[in-house]
Structure 1
Amino acid sequence: MPRTTIRIWTVLSALLITGIVLTQIYWMRNEYELQERQFLHRVTRALHKVASHVAQPTNDVTVDAQVITLSPDQYLVNLNVPFNSQKLDFHLGNELELHQVRARFDYGLYDTRVRQIVYQNLPEQTLETLSANGFVKPIQSPYYFVVHFPSQFHYLTQQMDFQILLSVIVLLLTAFFIYFFYGLFKQKSRTEEQREFMSNMTHELQTPIASIKLAADILLSPKITEQPERMRKYVRMVQEETMRLQQQVETVLTVARSEDSNGIKLHPICIDMHELLFHLADRHGDYLHLQLNAQHSIIQADRMHLVNVIGNLVDNAVKYTPKNPIIQLMTYNESDQLVVVVQDNGIGIAPEHQSHIFDAYYRAPGANAHSVKGFGLGLSYVQKIIKAHHWKLTLNSAVGQGTSFCIRIPQHTAHTQKELRVRSEE
């Protein structure tokens, strides 16, 4: 499927999902507001009935009850005549039940002696406090009571059980489709990365194979025996290209093994890091500088994998330093650790790509030029080997200012260091 079509489908799917979610939110909000209005209407009618039942008018005074909504869960009933507070509990429960309001409620009476609203089951709450919060306007008549529904929100949402169930189903379906599309695009991206990997691997393997074939054809020539220096040159070429080919194959196999349940199997031995770095430097030019300041350089590691790790970091440094490369290999000791630093003055890595460069097959944009071809597995391999040894790898990079990889390797005590040095010399 063309990328343009995929992008169009992605945008349309995102708009559709957004529309479904927004519609659901709008519908649920309207439904709750409707339930709230119905609750207000029923409570108001019920409280008017309660006022007419408990009022005790004198001298044929007409009962004028006023129901004031203090908040969605709190109502004040103001009467212009005294009322029978002992009947209030019965009539409140009865009328609210008749008007299909089954939410739990508390009520309070205004006490003229202390000028407070005294709740039956709640702490006292003064009229001044209510007024200060903007809930109540000054009440002229002392004959009023307040009804409070503490679980009003929970009660209203219970009335919407069916709508909430439908909303949950819709949201689950939406989440499923989001996950489905995410998996689809991730799989497509993975497929493209693997396709690119196969292309890069073919190119990378063809180079040493072509060199070996060329050297082998020359070595088969009868006249080569008359030129021993030239013969040694091509023998070294075969050895170097064979080692390079072996390292590339080992990199691929190591990444594949790391995804297996058995993981990577290491064969650690005592290694002098400085000696290893000296041998590595012989394979490079004057652009590689050594600053070996560590007093203790003996470690335990898998030699083959360690050589590949340092080699990968140095090769990457050379690849991504297109002009006048200056590669520095540094060592020093810090807190019972051997610290190995590979630093270059190359193009650097943008911050948004630094968290992805250790992913298998990942290649930062702009890294696909022919001069920097590779598997896209080098740094992934490095990270896996570092973790397998229980070491620590850190990255410091900025665009245009180069890159620095720092490997921190835990070391043994000085006494054990001496033993390791003797064993490595043996």
Structure 2
Amino acid sequence: MNKKVIYFIITLMSVTLIALMIIQVYWIKNAIMVKEAIFNRDVGDAVSNAIYHLEHIDRDRMHRLKRNSLRNTKLNFIHKKDSLEVYLTDNFTSFSQDHKTQQNLHSFQSSGQFIQNIFGQPPKDMLKIENRVSIKLMDSLLKVEFREAGIKTKYEFGIYTPKYRKMMLQKTGHYPKELLASPFRFLLFPGEIFGQKNQLMIYFPNERSYLITRLWTLLAASLVLILTIIFSFTYVISTVFKQKKLSEIKNDFINNMTHEFKTPISTISLACQALSDKDVAKNPSVYESYVSIIDEENNRLSGMAERILQSARLQKGEIKIKLEKVDLHHLITDAKQKLDLLIKQKGGVINMDLPIITISTRNISQGIIISIKDNGIGINKSNQKKVFDKLYRVPTGNIHNVKGFGLGLSYVKSVIEKHHGKITIDSELKKGSTFTIYLPLKKI
């Protein structure tokens, strides 16, 4: 796939994802605003009901106080008559007699006090907010109404008197400034015309978090949806790049395999043409050399094909490890002897002690450590993580002087892991690499 097409798709998907997230945030914000409006309405209804009940309680209290006050008033002018109407008639009739003027005047003043006790304003002490409302009563009324309205969050209330510009009562006294700034303000005793205009103020310390918790289902669903979209987007993009990288590796593998197979095939073809020459057939030594070349190249082709097939079977899990008791040092020495000629042709040396290619072993409590160290060109950090990937070859630019299919280290890692071991690499450019293999010991 063309890079421009890939980047265009990524840009388009990114813009779409951002737009979806913005829309989701917008709807969540609107939902919170709706919940806030419903919350304000419920608070208003609940507090209004609490004030209504408080007003009834206060009115009953006032009536009881007036009734007790009337009982304590001495009405000497009533005598044995039970009716106020009869009393007033007798007083106004006797008021015209001169010798009883002072007595009647005193009786009339007493009747005025009686009427004042019935219809007049209560004493000022009775109208003080501290004497009319208690913190416990107000809190009890609010708690009941909030519970019935489904409002289950911490609240603070206070009673403010504008005349004194002072908060007369508070539930805890911890939020005086917040109460004064709160939008929840309600008039206490709204039925009174001439009384003090005391205000009941409500403040909810956890209002925002409470509203959000009431939307947790919507928020959780939105969060899951957004995370799913982000995960899907990331997965698709990573898959596209992996497929692109895999395509490049596949093409590189095919090119390398074609090159690797082409060389022995060409050699065999040339040897066969030489063998068809009658002069070559007459010379046994030359004839045998060409036959030997054909055999070597054929073995080389067979070995390359076998490595590819083994790698495929190993990846599919078709290879089963059969554990046997072996002498590890003998295996290392045998491998050295097989590769010694090839290493010498390239000007290298395999030495068990001296540096060039150094192989060492070390016993530990539960296994053995094998270290293979060289002083070659080294591998940079970014490529060290990929050298064990199948078909991966360290890039060398336009220089194609490295043979192989990128299967060797992948095959080694798979076999080591089959033995429940592990392999690591420590390398630095221009200083060489060290491969460390750990194999656990197991009794068989």
Q: Which TM class, normalised by the smaller chain length?
A: 0.5 to 0.7
Which residue in 2 is equivalent to 1:323? none
Structure that is richer in strand per residue: 1
- Secondary structure of the 1:339 match is strand
Q: Residues 242 and 7 of structure 1: is their aligned pair in 2 closer, same or farther, counting only changes over 3 Å?
A: same
Match of 2:348 in 1: 288
Q: Secondary structure at the match of 1:370?
A: coil
In structure 2, the partner of 1:258 is: 314
AA paired with 1:389?
Answer: H
Q: Closer, same or farther in 2 for the Cα pair 1:233/1:176, shift >3 Å?
A: same
- Normalised TM-score (structure 2): 0.62
Distance 1:281 1:8 in 2: 53
- Kept in 2, the 8 Å contact 1:338–1:411? The answer is no
Return the alpha-carbon distance in structure 1 between the equivalents of residues 7 and 430 of structure 2: 32
> 1:379 is matched with which residue?
409
> In the TM superposition, what are the counterparts of 1:108-123 in structure 2 within 5 Å?
none
Match of 2:253 among 192, 197, 200: 197
Q: How does 1:79-98 map to 2 (within 5 A)?
A: 82-85=132-135, 87-88=137-138, 91-93=141-143, 95-96=145-146
Q: Secondary structure at the match of 2:349?
A: strand
1:258 Cα shift? 1.8
Q: How many residues align?
A: 347
On the 8 A contact 2:157/2:203 being kept in 1, the answer is no
Whether contact under 8 Å (2:157, 2:179) holds in the other structure is: no
Q: Distance in 1 between matches of 2:288 and 2:170?
A: 106
SS at match of 2:259: helix
Which 10-residue stretch deviates more, 183-192 or 275-284? 183-192
Q: Comparing both structures, which one devotes a greater share of its residues to helix?
A: 2
SS state of the match for residue 253, structure 2? helix
Cα-to-partner distance string for 1:378-426 (whole Å, 9 max, x where unaligned): 322221122223333110112333322223345689xx9xxxxxxxxxx
RMSD over aligned Cα atoms: 4.5
- Is the radius of gyration larger for structure 1 or structure 2? 2
**1:333 is matched with which residue?**
362
Q: Percent identity?
A: 24
Distance 1:43 1:289 in 2: 88
Counterpart secondary structure, 1:247: helix
> Who is 1:278 aligned against?
337
Cα deviation, residue 257, structure 1: 0.7
How far residue 328 of structure 1 moved from its aligned partner, in angstroms, is 1.0
Distance in 2 (alpha carbons) for counterparts of 1:277 and 1:151: 77
- Checking the alignment, whether the CA contact within 8 Å between 2:379 and 2:428 is kept in structure 1 is yes
Please list, as runs of the form range in 1=range in 2, the aligned pairs for 1:184-263 lying within 5 A after superposition. 184-224=240-280, 230-231=286-287, 233-263=289-319
Offset, 1:20: 1.8
Q: Quick one: which amino acid aligns to residue 150 of structure 2?
A: R
Cα pair distance change 1:211/1:136, threshold 3 Å: farther
Check conservation: 1:105, 1:147, Cα contact below 8 A.
Answer: no
1:158 is aligned to 214
Whether the aligned pair in 2 keeps the contact of 1:46 and 1:95 (CA below 8 Å) is yes
Residues 27-426 of structure 1 mapped to structure 2, 5 A cutoff:
27-36=27-36, 38-40=38-40, 42-43=42-43, 46-47=46-47, 50-51=50-51, 53-54=53-54, 59=123, 82-85=132-135, 87-88=137-138, 91-93=141-143, 95-96=145-146, 101-105=149-153, 127=173, 153=209, 156-159=212-215, 161=217, 165=221, 168-169=224-225, 172=228, 175-224=231-280, 230-231=286-287, 233-265=289-321, 270=326, 272=330, 273-285=332-344, 287-293=347-353, 327-335=356-364, 337=368, 339-346=370-377, 348-366=378-396, 369-410=399-440
> 1-side partners of 2:298 and 2:270: how far apart?
13
**Distance 1:282-1:12 versus aligned 2 partners, 3 A rule:** same
Q: Give the residue type in structure 2 aligned to 1:92.
A: L
1:355 Cα deviation after fit: 1.5
Aligned residues of 2:349 and 2:357 also touching (Cα < 8 A): yes
Moved more, 384-393 or 47-56: 47-56
Q: How big is each residue's C-alpha offset from its partner over 1:38-64, in whole Å with a ceiling of 9 and x where there is no partner? A: 535643664465356437598579999
1:280 aligns to what SS in structure 2? helix
Distance 1:276 1:350, change over 3 A: closer
Report the CA distance shift for 1:136/1:251 in structure 2 as closer, same or farther (over 3 A).
farther
Amino acid at match of 2:372: V
What runs of 5+ residues in structure 1 fail to find an aligned partner? 65-78, 111-115, 119-125, 138-142, 295-325, 417-426
Q: Give the Cα separation in 2 of the matches to 1:52 and 1:105.
A: 22
Cα displacement (A) at 1:340: 3.9
CA distance in 1, matches of 2:213, 2:220: 8
1:372 alignment partner, SS class: coil
| Paired AA for residue 262 in structure 1 | E
Deviates more, 1:22-31 or 1:391-400: 22-31
Query: Does the 8 Å CA contact 1:211/1:238 hold for their aligned counterparts?
Result: yes
Per the alignment, do residues 42 and 205 of structure 1 end up closer, same or farther by CA in structure 2, a change over 3 Å counting?
same
User: Unpaired segments of 5 or more residues in structure 2?
Assistant: 63-121, 159-168, 181-198
Q: CA deviation at 1:280?
A: 1.2
Distance change in 2, residues 1:259/1:330 (3 Å): closer
Aligned partner letter, 1:339: I
Q: Distance in 2 between matches of 1:274 and 1:95?
A: 90
- TM (normalized to structure 1)? 0.64
Decide whether the 8 Å contact of 1:391 with 1:410 is kept in 2. Answer: yes
Separation of aligned partners in 2, 1:411 and 1:144: 81
Q: Distance in 2 between matches of 1:162 and 1:408?
A: 52
Q: Are 2:369 and 2:439, in contact at CA under 8 Å, matched by a contact in 1?
A: yes
Match of 1:12 in 2: 12
Question: Contact 1:274–1:292 at 8 Å: present in 2 too?
Answer: no
- Going from structure 1 to structure 2, the CA distance change for 1:340 and 1:107 (only over 3 Å counts) comes to closer
* Residue 160 to residue 407, structure 1, CA distance change in 2 (3 Å): closer
By how many angstroms is 1:162 displaced? 5.6
Q: For residues 339-392 of structure 1, what are the alpha-carbon distances to aligned partners after superposition, in whole Å with 9 as ceiling and x for unaligned?
A: 24042421x322122222211233344456322253232322221122223333
CA change 1:27–1:356 in 2 (3 A) is farther
Q: CA deviation at 1:253?
A: 0.9
